[in-house]
Structures are given as C-alpha cells and as structure tokens.
Amino acid sequence: MKFWNFKNEADSETADLLLYGPISDSTWWGDEVTPTQFANDLAAIGGKNVNVRINSPGGDVFAAHAIFSQLVNYAGDITIHVDGLAASAATIIMMAGKVIMPTNSMVMIHNPAMGLMGYYDAVQMVKMAADLETVKKSIIAAYKNKCNLDDKKMSKLMDDETWMTAETAKEYGFADEVTGLSDTVNMAMDGSCFIVNSIKHKLSNLKNTAQLRNLVNKNQPVLTTKKPKEEQKLEIKNMEDLKKAHPDLINQAVADGIKNERERITALDAINDITNATIVEIINDAKTTGKTAAEVEPVINIVKKHSPATTDLKNAQQQFKNMIIDNKNSGADGVVAIGGDTQVDEKQKDAADISFMASVINKKFGRNK
C-alpha cells in the first residue's frame, strides 16, 4: 500500500504530491518495488513543477531519504507546503525544495530511534548504537541542504527533540517563507495524541511533549483558526472539578505516575535474588510500602554478605542488627562511623536499617510487631 498520492491534472502546469499521515515503515526499504513505483509516479508527471504537501508525524527514515533524493534530482521545481505538521522523518523530505509554512503550522526534529524485540548482547547493542549515529549524520547532511546551523547546534536540537513554530523554523533555515494563518490548519491536544487537521499523531514515543503542550497553550490563537470558547470560571473543590478544569494535566500526571511506578518496580526486580528467601521478603515489602531500590539495596548487600540461616526471630533480629553495625564500623561501605555529625547521622541510618529489617522479619514469621 502506497503512503503517497500524486495528483496530476492534464490541464494544470503543476502536480501535487500528498504526504498525509505516517511515512511507511514496512513497505518501502524492504521492498524494491516500492521506491521503483515512486520513481515511476514521479516520472509520469512529465517534468511539471511539483507541490509537495506534508502533514505527517514522520516514520521510516530510509523511505524519507529515498523520497528526498528523487525529488532533489527531479527536473521540475519542487515547492514544499507544510499543511499542519512536518515531524521526524518528514522533515528530511522538507529539505528537497522551497519550503512554505503557514503561521499556524509546526516542525519537529529529534534523534533517530529503533524498536527492538528479542535478546541482544553488548556487542550487538554497541553496533546498533553506532548505526543510529550514522543515520543521525545522514539526517544532518540532509538538513544542511537548507539550514544555516552548524553540526553541533543541529545535533543539540535533535538531542532535545525540538518543536518549532513556523517563525522558528524559518529562523533556523528549515523554512523559506512564512505565510499568514491557514484556514485549513487546526491543532489540538487530546490526552496522549496531537491532532492536526483531524489526523492523530501519538506522542507516547516522544520525550519533549511538554514543549509541544506549552506552544499549543501559549499560542492558541496562532496555532488554531477556531475562536476559543469564552472562558468559564470554575471553582475547584474536589478531584472531579480538577479533572474537568484541567484534563490534560490530570492525564499527564497519571501517565507520569504509572511510568514512575513501573520504573520503581523494575529497579527492585533487578536487585532481587529469588534464591535467597530473605531478599525476596525485603523486595516484596519494598514493593508494597513504596520503597525504592536505592533505599533497600544497602540492606540487601548486607544480607548477601552474611545470609543468616537462623529461624529464631529474636536471634535473627539481633544478628541483622550486629551485621549492620559491624558493616558500618568496618568502613566496608566507605562510611566513617565516628566523629561529629557524621556519627549521629550514621546511628540514625543504622536505626532505620535495623527497624526496616525487623519489620521484614516480623512479617516473615507471621508477627505484626
């Protein structure tokens, strides 16, 4: 299935190439017929000037490079119109001709990325990282076809995942001309999606959505042709009122909370040792009480060193207490146990460690205290 569409009317001196939606990541680079078909479609225009109209979140970088190369070598003039959003790989195609952007259109550039499935060793991962750096250099080379930024500045903008208004894009050299507001361009945020001219662009794989939201909110009169509704004052008394007043903020907070909790659990699982019942108990307790891997790792290290096998509750608690104190006093953790405020701080930390270990042991032996 083609992801482009040529409009070539016989009585027109120009033809249109429409790139609306994602640039294919599955039918281009692995299928030699597809780039050949694009070349045939382009040749069929007969040398007419071409208007390339883009509203795309990007997609396959190799497909974008192939389109860029064929457009650059085309006999007719190429004019690029950003009909809303040109992001990611779509910005490579932008570099093939004169770029015209309405005031209420946007551009986004970022580093190339790849999705992985399966298992890979360190050598393979290093190779993949090197490949991504090569791809990044190829993208910068395409940008330098128009842009007036040096490689270091361009690389930094890609590192930061930079969203640009039409004016900023012109300042950096991505655009040649900024027109007035376009009646055909409408933008809005809807939870985890950025909607441009009824086309939804998912934001889940992006990292700098805060800048995008800020631009949309700050420049609402510029980034949309719809008149904003009359603001209504809403007195916020509870969570339901807050959800109604600021749904985007609530959705973002929930998403961030879920992400942080997943990262906490993943970090705890990474230091778990299923062969050691005590460590398993510590990890399970940490998961339910909200502790982080950094908080319980010192205790786990002590358990790994000594691995007490006693089943007597009182002896176990005392043994853990002795282990913690001996470990601190020995300097094994690089901490001085004597002297001034440091001694007070260490005693407090020892007490906290001992209290935590005692609670774990109590739970393990079915006691509440």
One domain for residues 286 and 176: no
Mean pLDDT of 3-21: 91
| Class of residue 302 by CB neighbours under 10 A (exposed 0-12, middle 13-18, buried 19+) | buried
Q: Give the per-residue pLDDT at 226.
A: 41
More confident residue, 275 or 52: 52
**338: pLDDT strictly greater than 60:** no
User: Which region among 146-150, 287-291, 365-369 has the lowest average model confidence (pLDDT)?
Assistant: 365-369
Count of domains for the chain: 2
User: Which region among 7-21, 83-97, 195-209, 213-227 has the lowest average model confidence (pLDDT)?
Assistant: 213-227
State the residue for tokens 């750096």.
Answer: 133
CA distance 344 to 250: 42
Mean pLDDT of 53-82: 93
User: Which region among 17-21, 34-38, 334-338 has the lowest average model confidence (pLDDT)?
Assistant: 334-338
Instruction: Indicate the residue among 195, 227, 259 that finishes a domain.
Output: 227
Crossing angle of helices 340-364 and 313-330, in 10° steps, is 150
State the residue for tokens 């985890």.
Answer: 192
Residue 262 in any domain: the answer is no
One domain for residues 117 and 21: yes
**170: pLDDT strictly greater than 80:** yes
Q: Give the per-residue pLDDT at 353.
A: 63
Q: Give the per-residue pLDDT at 273.
A: 86
**181: pLDDT strictly greater than 70:** yes
Q: Give the per-residue pLDDT at 344.
A: 57
Instruction: Please choose, from the candidates 10, 19, 57, 58, the residue with its C-alpha nearest in 3D space to the C-alpha of residue 38.
Output: 19
**237: pLDDT strictly greater than 60:** yes
One domain for residues 30 and 175: yes
**356: pLDDT strictly greater than 70:** no
Domain range for 343 is: 271-364
One domain for residues 218 and 331: no
Q: Give the per-residue pLDDT at 358.
A: 61
Residue 127 in any domain: the answer is yes
Residue 193 in any domain: the answer is yes
Plot region of 366 (φ>0 → left; ψ -120 to 50 → alpha; else → beta): left
Residue 321 in any domain: the answer is yes
**135: pLDDT strictly greater than 80:** yes
Residue 69 in any domain: the answer is yes
HSE-CB for 159 with a 13 A CA cutoff: 7
Instruction: Indicate the residue among 227, 244, 262 that finishes a domain.
Output: 227
One domain for residues 151 and 299: no
One domain for residues 209 and 295: no
Residue 125 in any domain: the answer is yes
Q: Is the CB of residue 34 less than 8 Å from the CB of residue 3? A: no
**140: pLDDT strictly greater than 70:** yes
Q: Count Cβ atoms below 10 Å from residue 285 Cβ, excluding itself.
A: 17
Residue 250 in any domain: the answer is no
User: Which region among 96-100, 161-165, 221-225 has the lowest average model confidence (pLDDT)?
Assistant: 221-225
Mean pLDDT of the chain: 79
One domain for residues 72 and 138: yes
Q: Give the per-residue pLDDT at 134.
A: 94
pTM score of the predicted model: 0.57
| CATH code, 52 | 3.90.226.10
Share of the chain above pLDDT 70, in %: 73
Residue 254 in any domain: the answer is no
One domain for residues 306 and 216: no
